Amino acid sequence: MERRRIGSLEVSVVGLGCNNFGWRIGKDATREVLAASLDGGVNFLDTADMYDTGVSEEFMGEALGDRRKDVVIATKFGFSMGDGPNGAKEGASPAYVREACDASLRRLKTDHIDLYQLHTPDPKTPIGDTLEALDGLVKAGKVREIGCSNFSVEQLQEAALAVKAGAARFLTVQNHYSVFHREPEAGMLAECAATGVGFIPYFPLANGLLSGKYRKGQPVPDNSRIKDSWGPNMFNDHNMDIIEKLVAFAEAHGHTLLELATCWLAAQPSVVSVISGAKTVAQATQNAAAGNWTLTAAEAAEISKLAS
């Protein structure tokens, strides 16, 4: 599988989103999904401390074992981890940055985090203070590279201005992006290209809408997440018409809708890895294989038009 760079890291163009671990699948299934992903060429694993309040990290740490050396682990901090003896476990204050990092290292059973990301901006803490604490973790060898998530262009620019000479800076930003959610095209992708920041899209399959399971005129599976609160907003005639156009395009090129959704993102400027979640070995295998279709610029542009 193609690899792309994040500073000193080399990551697979398709990554594994690990938010299902703990919340939706247990230890054994986690081990199977991880193994299938790695066997498919994936080396980039993205989790967060708040995924099932640390359980995702714990399951990953136990499942990886000797394969830790074969993967690039990304995790995140900043969202609430619940109340503890020192108060709310959230935010980006320097003391909490260090505390959260040590806790993640313990759960992941590793001595370093490859990409440590601020999960969400913390309005209570100056970004310069957070960056200084993260730089300290890099210098201590606990973290290799740092990134952020759910940042706006303005917040990314503010962070860049706050970095001290020679200190670690955000090398990635992880935001919502898919053919159905094009907000990053309104400035974020251009900012990333201009500053050398890698973009990591999350929800690349629009919570499953682009997985190929949903077709116009066909019943929605009973256990589908599309019936959750976001479903009525996405499962509409306009979007299903787009799905049919995209399916036709993919099949005409000998590929699936899932492969189209993944590779269209991989073809966008500054995207370094497309992270998709998986609950089964079959899903993990399909996601990994989706990185094998390289779109031409003309194909990517045509898909963009079909999805508009």
List active site positions.
Answer: 51
For 1, 20, 43, 68, 104, the CA distances from 50, given in Å and listed in that order, are 29, 12, 22, 21, 10
Q: Are 225 and 195 in contact (CB under 8 A)?
A: no
Calculate the CA 286 to chain-centre distance.
17
Question: Which residue bears the tokens 């190929």?
Answer: 212
Q: Domains of the chain, with CATH numbers?
A: 3-208+258-295 (3.20.20.100)
Considering just the CA atoms, what is the radius of gyration of the chain in Å?
19
* Residue 275, pLDDT score: 97
pLDDT at 86: 44
DSSP 292: G
Q: What is the DSSP string of 83-125?
A: EETTEE--S--HHHHHHHHHHHHHHHT-S-EEEEEE-S--TTS
- The pLDDT of residue 246 is 96
pLDDT of 208: 84
Q: What is the pLDDT of residue 110?
A: 98
**pLDDT of res. 217:** 63
Distance separating the N- and C-terminal Cα atoms of the chain: 29
Q: What does pLDDT average to in each consecutive run of 10 residues of the chain (308 residues)?
A: 97 97 95 97 97 94 95 96 64 95 96 98 97 98 98 98 97 97 97 98 91 70 56 72 95 96 96 96 96 94 94
Tokens of 177: 């992006």
What's the pLDDT at 8?
Answer: 98
pLDDT, position 85: 47
